[in-house]
Amino acid sequence: MYAHDNLLNEPTFSGHIYWITDSQEFSIHKLQSDIAQALKLDFSCGNDDEKKRAAQLFQTFQKRGSFVLILDDVWKQIDAEKISIPPRRNGCKLVITSRSKEVCHRMGCQRVIKVNTISEQEVWELFLKKLGRVELHPEVEEICKKMVKRCGGLPLALVTLAGSMRGVTDIHEWRDASEELKQSCMGRADMENEVLPILLYSYDRLRDPKLQRCFLYCSLYPEDYPIGKDKLIENFISEELMDRRLSWRAENDQGYAILNQLERACLLERVSGSDGFLKLRDVIRDMALWITKDNCTYMVKAGLHLREIPDVQEWTEDLDKISLMNNSIEEISIGMSPNCPQLSTLILSKNPLKSIPDCFFMQMRGLRTLNLSGTSIQYLPHSISDLMNLRTLLLRRCFNLKTVPTLEKLKLLTRLDLANTKIEELPDGVESLTNLKVLDLVRTSLSMIPTGVLHSLSLLQQLRLPIHTRVPIEEVLSLQQLEDFLWQR
């Protein structure tokens, strides 16, 4: 990043410096899209042809004259021609950073520069700073230095290790932690990245299963994605990842306490300039995905610019959570019916998805959370009405959605979000949702709530309505557990 900032002031390149972060989830389509975004280039509408996209990129680069393109954190060899980076010429530079010297050689780098780790003194100072600048007993200090040495001068490993040990004072706990770290690094020596065993040790030291569950849930979001704290806590509650509390406020407080603990452990970090958003560093997300792959229960293909839904063969019977959010999926093939009896969470949000075949959910009877928010869905398949284990149905910002099939059988549903849809009437069967705790209908065209509906929703804790909606106020007042009632324009 320091080199990038210096290059911006270099007159040779006229400010044409482009920094693109690659990832393990590499695809030509994704990299082309990321470069186009950096160039402020709009691909032709619906253009999914890699060769045509490459031609557009090539022409744009040619017009820029001198430029530097930095591809950061490259894991695999990239064919520059497929992306259409112009061939080497005066004034045009391609710079890659990689943890693998072999990748640099395969890509024909003219010069390979090894970036050294920070000095021993800098390592120690950084560790103490993140630990909290506490006074260390001489024996503890000796243990610390051995643990720090295992980090090999890698700043992220140091920061995460210090975060996991912050507040520990007992010599026995320090000795135990040192032995645990030693065993972790020895037992995972075959892992593909030397920093991952140390990060995994920090994950193991969370101890509390609910902290670990909530941390792993964050890996369902795309790489470098700013995750809103409030929405994340809502999902923790919906997914039942935390301890149960009697009120929404108490559960919300518990969620914030968990996020603070994960942040103090340096497994989550604040998005710069915004206290309300968190993110996972790319290496920490890689570690989280590595953990989930170990038990094969997550399929995460979020933010990869996918145009098609994964093949049915990838939807295995043991999957628990699937995230396909932030892609370019427009349709699901007619007749597709994945056999996923244990699937509890399916996230398809922020896709231009217009419809779903009725058979799609037929073999997902265990589904508890369905997130279709931000899609172009026009109608829902009737098979949703038979998802009797469903706890959460999220349809926020489905701007084309006018109707929802009957919800009469979904008696376990606790959260229904229809905000920013074209809903004009409550879906049939809402009065049967006796376990409903959250009902969000803001920015809809809902004209009224029929008499008797709210009276049957006795567990409701949050109710959000458009300001023009007529509502029997006496029924609202009778909701003893209601903590958040909002009329919003």
Domains: count for the chain: 3
Is the CA virtual torsion 258, 262, 268, 273 positive or negative? Answer: positive
Does residue 8 form part of some domain? yes
pLDDT higher for 249 or 133? 249
H helices within 49-206, ranges in order?
50-64, 80-83, 101-106, 120-131, 138-150, 155-165, 171-187, 196-204
125 & 152 share domain: yes
Does residue 336 form part of some domain? no
Is residue 44 scored above 70 in pLDDT? no
Is residue 11 scored above 60 in pLDDT? no
Question: In this structure, what DSSP letter does residue 441 have?
Answer: -
What is residue 137's predicted lDDT score, i.e. its pLDDT?
82
Most confident of 154-158, 206-210, 369-373, 482-486: 369-373
CATH code for the domain in which residue 237 is found: 1.10.10.10
96 & 65 share domain: yes
Does residue 36 form part of some domain? yes
Give per-residue pLDDT as tens, 300-338: 999 988 999 999 999 999 999 999 999 999 999 999 999
140 & 156 share domain: yes
Q: What is the pTM of this model?
A: 0.75
pLDDT bin (cut points 50, 70, 90) of residue 24 is low
218 & 198 share domain: no
Domain-ending residue, one of 106, 129, 146: 106
pLDDT higher for 102 or 295? 102
Is residue 164 scored above 50 in pLDDT? yes
Q: Report, as an integer, the average pLDDT of 15-29.
A: 71
Give per-residue pLDDT as tens, 211-247: 999 999 999 999 889 999 999 999 999 999 999 988 8
Q: Report, as an integer, the average pLDDT of 59-74.
A: 78
CB 400, CB 376: distance < 8 Å: yes
133 & 91 share domain: no
Is residue 257 scored above 60 in pLDDT? yes
Strand ordering across the sheet containing 415-417: 298-300, 321-323, 345-347, 369-371, 392-394, 415-417, 438-440, 462-466, 484-488
6 & 101 share domain: yes
pLDDT-above-90 percentage for the chain:
43
146 & 73 share domain: no
Q: Report, as an integer, the average pLDDT of 403-413.
A: 95
Which residue bears the tokens 């979001």? 221
Domain-ending residue, one of 260, 283, 306: 283
What is residue 291's predicted lDDT score, i.e. its pLDDT?
85
Is residue 9 scored above 60 in pLDDT? no
| Domain span at 272 | 209-283
Is residue 98 scored above 80 in pLDDT? no
Is residue 13 scored above 70 in pLDDT? no
Query: Which has the minimum average pLDDT: 10-14, 171-175, 266-270, 286-290?
Result: 10-14
Does residue 68 form part of some domain? yes
CB 285, CB 227: distance < 8 Å: no
What is residue 154's predicted lDDT score, i.e. its pLDDT?
67
CB 107, CB 80: distance < 8 Å: yes
Q: How far apart are CA 318 and CA 427, in angstroms?
A: 33
pLDDT bin (cut points 50, 70, 90) of residue 189 is very low
Is residue 277 scored above 50 in pLDDT? yes
pLDDT higher for 124 or 295? 124
Does residue 247 form part of some domain? yes
Is residue 292 scored above 90 in pLDDT? no
Does residue 92 form part of some domain? yes
Is residue 416 scored above 60 in pLDDT? yes
98 & 128 share domain: no
pLDDT bin (cut points 50, 70, 90) of residue 23 is low
What is residue 485's predicted lDDT score, i.e. its pLDDT?
82
Q: How far apart are CA 328 and CA 30, in angstroms?
A: 11
63 & 86 share domain: yes
pLDDT-above-70 percentage for the chain:
88
Does residue 428 form part of some domain? no
CB 76, CB 26: distance < 8 Å: yes
pLDDT higher for 118 or 109? 109
What is residue 92's predicted lDDT score, i.e. its pLDDT?
75
Q: Which DSSP string do the residues of 145-165 spell out, in sequence order?
A: HHHHHHTTT-HHHHHHHHHHH
Is residue 128 scored above 90 in pLDDT? no
20 & 90 share domain: yes
87 & 177 share domain: no
Most confident of 14-18, 114-118, 258-262: 258-262
Query: Which has the minimum average pLDDT: 45-54, 160-169, 289-298, 361-370?
Result: 45-54
Q: Report, as an integer, the average pLDDT of 16-25.
A: 71
First to last CA, the chain: 43
Domain-ending residue, one of 204, 225, 242: 204
Closest CA to 230 of 444, 445, 489, 438: 438
Phi then psi for 348, rounded to 5 degrees? -120, 15
What is residue 2's predicted lDDT score, i.e. its pLDDT?
43
180 & 125 share domain: yes
Is residue 201 scored above 70 in pLDDT? yes
Most confident of 54-63, 89-98, 342-351, 461-470: 342-351
Does residue 395 form part of some domain? no
pLDDT higher for 140 or 437? 437
